[in-house]
Structure 1
Amino acid sequence: MRTKQELGAAIRRDRRAALVINARSRRGRQHYERARARLVESGFDLLGTYPVDRPGQLEESLAEAAGLGPDLLVAGGGDGTLSTAARLLAHRDFALGVLPLGTTNNFARTVGVPLDLDAAVAVLTDGKVVDVDLGLVGNLRFANHVGIGLSADVMASTPPRLKRLSGRLAYPATALALLARHRPLRARVRAEGREHEFVTHQLYVANGGFHAGRPITADANADDRLLVAYPVGGPHRRELLRDTARNAATGHRRTLGDEPFLAVRQLWLETDRPAPVEVDGELYGETPIRIGLDANALRVLAPADSPDR
């Protein structure tokens, strides 16, 4: 493995890159040609370009792109695309370049990449290589969050036909239908010699600093060696709706020291009944689960003024 400085120097000198864009989304289809053209105009030697337009093709395309031996693998898409790329590139001698083409773009926001496409390409030209942490559930790495409660039940219950017809709108529609009869969970979190108990319809464990496109707290980020566990609301359904709105409006003013956030390096989570778990928007088993950190697991090309521990 080269040092970050050596890898950054190679990217600036040789401009060897590969491009993978999730073209199944509307924004991906719209921006694929523009992104490819902007990278070429910026002097990058594109060893391969992959517009992914079929289900199940993303991992294959990312692996093929990595096999070309670029110094920089540029991935364009939403958080699911970037989380998949992060798992593939963890602890490998590449840097991940981020083109935020999703809806909430939590990972891009966490690492400071601008949401404007031209500005994001400029980061690939003028930025620096930094290390960021990834979370771990079993052997599965994640970039953004683990969800237990309503969010995982929605993933498990949304009909495939509704997803095909409605896209992302299928999830809030399913959530509203489920919420009317959703039972709260009694969740126990054991971490650093202490036990915490929550009765809630939704619990998150975040690695990054953003959720649903908004800051979780002002001081959470993907390079702080910390996971952030927090419930959204209490046992009553109206509390889930209230706290969802409050978190979106006030996250930038809150800190990890505030209630109800738990900032820890690893944790064990169990619930009063087996509950499905979603990891970065994909179903992954049931509780109980252990969640930990893979520190400095991923190299990312970030803005030149980004902090890097």
Structure 2
Amino acid sequence: MNYWLIVNEAAGDGRRGENYWREHLQAAGIDEVHVRVLADTAWEHAVAPGDRVLAAGGDGSVNRVASVCIERNAVLGVLPSGTANDFARNLGLPEDPAALCRLVRSGQSVEVDAAWLNGHLFLNVAHIGLGTLPARDASQAQKRRLGRFSYLLTLAQRIGLQRGIQGRIECGDQVAEGRWLTIAIASGAYFGGGHDIAEARIDDGLLDVVAVRQSSWPRLLVAFIMVRLLRRTPQRDDTVVHLQAPQCHIQLRHPHTLTADGENLGRMANVSAFTRCGVLEVLCERLVSAQPSSPETVRDTPTDAPPMVRPSPGPL
């Protein structure tokens, strides 16, 4: 079994690079590490089953490394070094780098879901509409200076330019149609720099589709307060729609930009997504789920659960 450290030096503010993580890994007792730059593709074919592949970067970097881990049957380790680090939030990883590297050394792991959208892997969220703007427009300088708040700045600068997206959402036997400001397809509980979906988990075998209808500012404000502060979807107002199923299909009247884990996938009108339960093994002690009653609730992964059968995700 080998340890790999895959580094994206451009992630975040650039301070959590190779030297930073090497020092903490060595302090935890991990001395032999194969270090590679994310952009170098040769390492992808050298990873062997059971290897620990540590991704030092943001969610986009983790996405890239995760696809290799699934294909090569390796174990993913996340060393958060980006702007949002939402996948790390889903895993409830320690913020202290020393504690995180000790966890990596312990080898504790859980199996989590991964999702595919039009053939592209995503771990956190795919966006259509307003939610794509931060990923597309936030500059690297903004990200370094403002961190995850750069996404909010970009969103605020562009929110007045949106005219809505006409589309139909099919999620299992649930259907919603209309004109939408944004549509988010989430695999876990956390996305968008800390936004969360109540009671969602990254190991529940479900996609959570959250869509916001184009509406008046007062209605949008009420919906925002209900969802963000009171942590529940408005019952008598369909401004915010929340659907759950293992797969979903979205048909848009016109092509719109699609992003997945912050990466621009281009303009599409026909979007299909599905999730695979327990297909990715990740170094982690216990998972996190967002609950209506409190900002965060940590649940231990059951130790008496039967072993998961890992279905093949098909070609990546």
Same fold (TM > 0.5): yes
Deviations along 1:252-300, whole A, 9 cap, x unmatched? Answer: x77xxx9732111101102232221111111113122111113322111
Cα distance in 1 for partners of 2:157, 2:83 equals 22
Which range moves more in the overlay, 36-45 or 266-275? 36-45
**CA 1:187 to 1:114, structure 2 compared with 1: closer, same or farther past 3 Å?**
farther
Counterpart residue number, 1:291 = 273
Identical positions, percent: 26
Q: Aligned pair 1:183/2:159, yes or no?
A: no
More strand as a share of residues: 2
Q: Secondary structure at the match of 2:103?
A: helix
Q: Does 1:67 align with 2:49?
A: no
Closer, same or farther in 2 for the Cα pair 1:45/1:71, shift >3 Å?
farther
State which of 90, 99, 118 in structure 2 corresponds to 1:119: 99
Residue identity in the other structure for 2:169: V
Offset of residue 218 of structure 1: 3.6
Task: Tell me by how many angstroms 1:59 deviates.
Answer: 4.2
For 1:277, which of 258, 261, 271 is the aligned residue? 258
| Distance in 2 of aligned mates of 1:154 and 1:213 | 10
Structure 1 window deviating more from structure 2 (167-176 vs 79-88): it is 167-176
Task: Give deviations 1:44-88, integer Å, cap 9, x for gaps.
Answer: 2424123x4xxxxx2425x51661547211111211111111122
Instruction: Report the equivalent of 2:173.
Output: 193
Paired residue secondary structure (2:32): strand
Contact 1:112–1:306, Cα closer than 8 Å, also in 2: no
Equivalences for 1:11-30 in 2 at 5 Å?
Answer: 16-25=2-11, 27-30=13-16
When structure 1 is superposed on structure 2, of 141-150 and 282-291 the one drifting more is 282-291
> Where does residue 149 of structure 1 map in the other structure?
129
Q: Is the 8 A contact 1:277 1:287 kept in 2?
A: no
In structure 2, the CA distance between the partners of 1:306 and 1:35, relative to structure 1 (3 Å rule), is farther
Alignment of 1:1-309 (within 5 A): 16-25=2-11, 27-30=13-16, 32-50=18-36, 52=37, 58-60=38-40, 63-64=42-43, 67=46, 69=48, 71-153=51-133, 155-156=135-136, 158=137, 163-167=139-143, 171-214=151-194, 216-232=196-212, 234-236=214-216, 243=223, 247-251=227-231, 260-285=241-266, 286-303=268-285, 306-307=300-301
- Secondary structure of the 1:37 match is helix
Q: CA deviation at 1:206?
A: 0.1
Opposite residue 135 of structure 1, the aligned amino acid is: A
- Three-state SS of the structure 2 residue aligned to 1:178 is helix
The structure where helix makes up a greater share of residues is 1
Shift of 1:17: 0.6
Give a deviation string over 1:186-233, Cα, whole Å, max 9, x none. Answer: 331112233212432111010011023435234211111000001245
User: Unaligned regions of 5+ residues in structure 1, if any?
Assistant: 1-9, 11-15, 53-57
Q: Which stretch of structure 1 is more off in the superposition, 140-149 or 107-116?
A: 107-116
Structure 1 residue 28: deviation in Å? 4.1
TM-score (norm 2): 0.77
How high is the TM-score relative to the length of structure 1?
Answer: 0.78
**Aligned with 2:264: secondary structure?**
strand
Q: How much has 1:306 moved relative to structure 2?
A: 4.3
Partners of 1:296 and 1:65 lie apart in 2 by 21
The alpha-carbon distance between structure 1 residues 238 and 99, as it changes in their structure 2 partners (threshold 3 A), is farther
Q: Work out the number of aligned pairs and report it.
A: 281
Q: Secondary structure at the match of 2:25?
A: helix
**Cα offset for 1:239?**
5.2
- Distance in 2, Cα, partners of 1:88 & 1:68: 8
Q: Is the 8 A contact 1:48 1:68 kept in 2?
A: no
Relative distance call for 1:35 and 1:164 in structure 2 (3 A) is closer
